Amino acid sequence: MRHFVLVLSFVVSIESFAQTWSPGSIISATGDTTRGEIFFRDWDISPSSIDFRSGGQTSTMSDIKGFTIDKENRIYERVNIQLKYYFSVVSYGTRAVEREVPTNVFAEIVYYNSVVRLYSLGDDMKTERFLIRRNGQGLVELANYSYKVQRDGKIFQSDNHEYRGTLTYLLSDCNIKASDAMAYSEKEITRLLDKYGECNGASVKKKVDNRHLVNLGALVAVRNVPNWIPPYGNYNYETRNEPMVGLAIQFLSRKNFGNRFLMAELAVIRGPVDAGPGSLALAKNIEFAAYGGSFFGRKNLQGIVFIGASRYSGIFETGGGISYRKKFVLTASYGFLGSVDNAYSIKLRYHPRLKAPKS
C-alpha cells in the first residue's frame, strides 16, 4: 500500500507540474485580447473565475468576457442565466422546482457558425446542460429534467424533454423539427444546427469537438499469483509477481463529462506455463480484457470503479482505483470466476488525450 501511494504521488506531481498552466488568451469586457497562461481544470462545474498569469504576474480573473485555451481550440464565454433545479421526488400537485439560481459563469462553446451557438455548462450538481444563442439574441436553455411523482401510494416517473420543443421553435423558420426520439446530447443537437446553418447559408461552419472519446494508451502492471499450479500439489506454492506490459484503449462517453467508459486491453504477461509435473517454465502469455465503469468525483483527481472480463483474471473481474485527469490511472482488481484463486492485479495506465473523431 505504501508503494501504491508513493507511485500515485509521483505521477500526480509530474502531471501537475507539466499540465497545470495552459497557453491561451483572455478577452476583456471591452474586447481586448491578452496572451498568457490560464490555470485550467477539466471542470465538473463551470467556473465563475479563472487564474491567469502574464509577464510574471498572476491574478484571478472574473470580470472578463471570455477566454480560450490554445490546446484543442477550446473557447469559453461568460453567460448569465437563471437555472432551475428540481426535486428528485415530489407529491402529486406539488411544484417540482426546488430552487432557481442566477448563474454567471464561463460556459464552453461546443458548436458555432454565423447564425447559432451551442454552449455546454456544468451546473452546481455537476450535470451538463446545453444553452443556445441564435443570431446574437438572448441565451436560451435547452432544458431536460426528470423527477418522480408520488400519488396514492404509487410512484410515477415524470420526464420533461422541453429541449425538443425549444429547438423546434427556434429553428422553425427553416421548418426543422426535433423528433420525439431525439436524445439530449451534443451530437444530436448539432445535427439539427448543421441543417439550420445550411438553410441560412452560414458562411463558415465551425465546430469545437473537444470530447476525447478515444484515448489509446500504455499500461504496466504486476499480477500477484499465489499457488499457481494445481493439480501438481504444493511444490510451487510461493507467490509470483508477474510483470505485464501492453496497450489500453479508453472509449469515453459524451454524457456526464466523459465519466462513463469502456476499456479494452491487450498485454503480454511474463508468467508461468504448465510444462508437466515437476516443471513450471516461464513464457510470454497474451492477456486480453474488456471493462466498463465510471470515473467519479472532481475532474482532476477522480476515483474509478469498473467490472469486466479477462483471459487470466476471469469472467467477473472487478476493481477500483484513482485517476488524474483520466491520463494516469492506477487500479487494483480481483477476479472471481474462472481466475486463479486469490490472484489480483495492480495496473498503471497512461492515456494521452487524443482528439475526438469527427461526429
pLDDT at 277: 44
Domain edge (last residue) among 207, 242, 259: 207
106 with 202, same domain: the answer is yes
193 with 240, same domain: the answer is no
146 with 222, same domain: the answer is no
| Secondary structure of the chain in HEC code, one letter for each residue | CHHHHHHHHHHHHHHHHHHCEEEEEEEECCCCEEEEEEECCCCCCCCCCEEEEECCEEEEECCEEEEEECHHHEEEEEEEEEEEEECCEEECCCCCEEEEEEEEEEEEEEEECCCEEEEEEECCCCCEEEEEEECCCCEEEECCEEEEEEECCEEEEEEECHHHHHHHHHCHHHCCCCCCCCCCCHHHHHHHHHHHHHHCCCCCCEECCCCCCEEEEEEEEEEEECCCCCCCCCCCCCCEEEEEEEEEEEEECCHHHHCEEEEEEEEEEEEEEECCCCCEEEEEEEEEEEEEEEEECCCCEEEEEEEEEECCCEEEEEEEEEEECCCEEEEEEEECCCCCCCCEEEEEEECCCCCCCCC
Read off the pTM.
0.60
237 with 131, same domain: the answer is no
**Mean pLDDT, 10 residues at a time, the chain of 359 residues:** 40 41 90 90 83 90 91 88 91 88 94 91 90 92 91 88 94 93 91 90 53 74 62 52 82 65 84 47 71 77 87 80 86 76 80 52
Q: Which residue has the cell 506454492?
A: 237
Domain count, the chain: 2
Domain edge (last residue) among 191, 207, 223: 207
| CATH number of the domain residue 344 falls in | 2.40.160
- The verdict on residue 31 lying in a domain is no
- The verdict on residue 292 lying in a domain is yes
As a whole number of angstroms, the distance between CA 124 and CA 85 comes to 10
- The verdict on residue 355 lying in a domain is no
245 with 198, same domain: the answer is no
pLDDT at 103: 94
Cell reading at 156: 410515477
Domain edge (last residue) among 184, 207, 230: 207
203 with 231, same domain: the answer is no
- The verdict on residue 36 lying in a domain is no
Assess contact for 242 and 271: CB atoms under 8 A: yes
pLDDT at 325: 76
pLDDT at 17: 37
> What are residue 329's DSSP bridge partners?
323, 349
As a whole number of angstroms, the distance between CA 101 and CA 94 comes to 19
- The verdict on residue 63 lying in a domain is no
219 with 191, same domain: the answer is no
**Residue range of the domain that includes 104:** 70-207
pLDDT at 34: 94
339 with 229, same domain: the answer is yes
243 with 146, same domain: the answer is no
309 with 275, same domain: the answer is yes
173 with 75, same domain: the answer is yes
As a whole number of angstroms, the distance between CA 143 and CA 184 comes to 9
- The verdict on residue 78 lying in a domain is yes
pLDDT at 124: 86
- The verdict on residue 276 lying in a domain is yes
230 with 342, same domain: the answer is yes
- The verdict on residue 39 lying in a domain is no
Q: From the CB of residue 222, how many other CB atoms can be counted at a distance below 10 Å?
A: 16
As a whole number of angstroms, the distance between CA 104 and CA 263 comes to 36
